[in-house]
Amino acid sequence: MSDNSPSKKILSLDAGASKIRLVVFDEFGHTLGSMVKNPGANISINPEESSKKIIKSISDLLDSLSLGYDDINHYSLGIAGISDDKGRDMLFKRLDDKQISSITHLSSDVNPIFEINCSDDSAILVSVGTGFICLGRNQEGKIIKAGGKGLELDAGSGYWIGKELILNLSFSRDMEQDENEFSELLDMTLKHYQTTELNNVLDGIMDSDDKYSTIASVSKPLIGLAKKENQIALSIVQQSTQHVAEHILTLADQISYLNDDLIIIANGGVLEDSFYRQSLEDALSFDFENINWLFPSISTAYYPGLLSCKLIGININVEHLLKHNPIV
């Protein structure tokens, strides 16, 4: 049975490579329902399957709320890889199949977070999850990006960390690196992938529906091992943060970022780890006196919807949502 409330409803979806987060809220800031789906959907990777995941997530959330597609006034979608023509076309086809036409906003998954949290050139968004991208705004107000060229090309991402781990394990076996450190790294990897042989890990990755998220998932336990001073893991983390730092500095130069202190809007699971952030701060220490971290105060699921509200004149913001027990 559909909800006959006169309030306008916004379905807001944030789809990254690892998770799909979505929420329905109304024009007064009341959250009606939410959902998180694993794994995520990067529309540039297997466009047909990713489009199906996104539509299925929308359908499942609406079903849980006894709502139909037509009960939503505004669909606001932030989707990783949306700049890919084939992926975007496939998504529109799937939306048309369900007669979902009220798309108020469609962008990448990180753009709404940046737009809502940074209206000027005072901060840079850095997103390190399965993939990696930086966004900044120049003095003319134009959004400039660094990274975000594709999961195979973006050095420093969670996927890159996992890939470097697999390569290091393979080469360690040939080069007979430090036995204890190799054993620690191998044991951690086998435990994470719940197997007893490295070849099983490689086979599992090849058989996975989403090799990128599967490989990236090991980045967090690897960072945990780096904290314990395993030199192989530590080297991978430091290489990752060096790559990310280089992109940040390139972007800062492109937007003429002149502050001595750097304000970073942080996004992505890798940046949730304080050890990784400290390593990134160390890599940036020659160029900035201090790094100030800003984290979204509510779930990233809300941000595409908040940007839609801003565009269509619904007076609602993060503070409104925080008053009504949002998901965080």
Q: For 5-42, how does the pLDDT look when each residue is reduced to its tens digit (9 = 90+)?
A: 568 999 999 999 889 999 999 999 999 999 999 888 99
Residue 13 shares a structural domain with residue 66? yes
Residue 328 in any domain: the answer is: no
Q: How many domains does the chain have?
A: 2
Residue 83 shares a structural domain with residue 130? no
Burial of 313 per CB tally in 10 Å (0-12, 13-18, 19+): exposed
Residue 327 in any domain: the answer is: no
pLDDT tens-digit series, residues 146-204:
998 888 888 999 999 999 999 888 875 555 567 788 899 999 999 999 998 888 888 88
Two tokens at 146? 């660094």
Q: Measured between alpha carbons, how far is residue 8 from residues 28, 98, 309, 326 in Å?
A: 9, 20, 11, 17
Residue 312 shares a structural domain with residue 182? no
Residue 196 in any domain: the answer is: yes
Tell me what pLDDT residue 204 has: 85
Residue 136 shares a structural domain with residue 36? no
Two tokens at 196? 């007893």
Residue 200 shares a structural domain with residue 257? yes
CA distance 121 to 256: 9
Residue 148 shares a structural domain with residue 220? yes
Residue 274 shares a structural domain with residue 133? yes
Residue 142 shares a structural domain with residue 258? yes
CA distance 291 to 275: 14
pLDDT tens-digit series, residues 263-291:
999 999 999 999 999 999 999 999 999 99
Q: Which residue, 219, 45, 197, 202, is CA-closest to 130?
A: 219
Q: Please, which pLDDT band fits residue 328 given cuts at 50, 70 and 90?
A: low
Tell me what pLDDT residue 5 has: 53
CA distance 16 to 77: 11
Residue 248 in any domain: the answer is: yes
Q: Give residue 268's region: left, alpha or beta (phi > 0; psi -120 to 50).
A: left
> Please, are residues 60 and 35 in contact by the beta-carbon 8 Å criterion?
yes
Question: Judging by DSSP bridges, how do beta strands 261-267 and 124-128 pair with one another?
Answer: parallel
* Per-residue H/E/C for 121-182: CCCEEEEECCCEEEEEECCCCCEEEEECCCCCCCCCCHHHHHHHHHHHHHHHHHHCCCHHHH
Residue 138 in any domain: the answer is: yes
Tell me what pLDDT residue 165 has: 94
Tell me what pLDDT residue 175 has: 55
CA distance 324 to 194: 40
Q: Which residues contact 223 (CB under 8 A, 6 or more apart)?
A: 161, 233, 237, 270, 273, 275, 276
Q: Measured between alpha carbons, how far is residue 71 from residues 9, 10, 33, 65 in Å?
A: 7, 9, 14, 11
Residue 47 shares a structural domain with residue 140? no
Q: Supply the DSSP symbol for 37.
A: E
Q: Domain of 218: which CATH number?
A: 3.30.420.40
pTM score, two decimals?
0.90
Q: How many residues does the chain have?
A: 328
> Please, are residues 132 and 21 in contact by the beta-carbon 8 Å criterion?
no
CA distance 20 to 30: 21
In single-letter form, the type of residue at position 252 comes to: A
Residue 260 in any domain: the answer is: yes
Residue 163 shares a structural domain with residue 275? yes
Token pair 């977070």 is found at 113
Residue 220 shares a structural domain with residue 274? yes
Residue 1 in any domain: the answer is: no
pLDDT tens-digit series, residues 216-258:
999 999 999 999 999 999 999 999 999 999 999 999 999 999 8
Helix, strand or coil, per DSSP, at residue 265: strand
Residue 176 shares a structural domain with residue 98? no
Residue 75 in any domain: the answer is: yes
Q: Which residue, 203, 31, 42, 9, is CA-closest to 110?
A: 42
Q: What residues make up the domain containing 16?
A: 9-109+298-322
In single-letter form, the type of residue at position 152 comes to: E
Task: State yes or no: pLDDT of 45 exceeds 90.
Answer: no
CA distance 230 to 165: 12
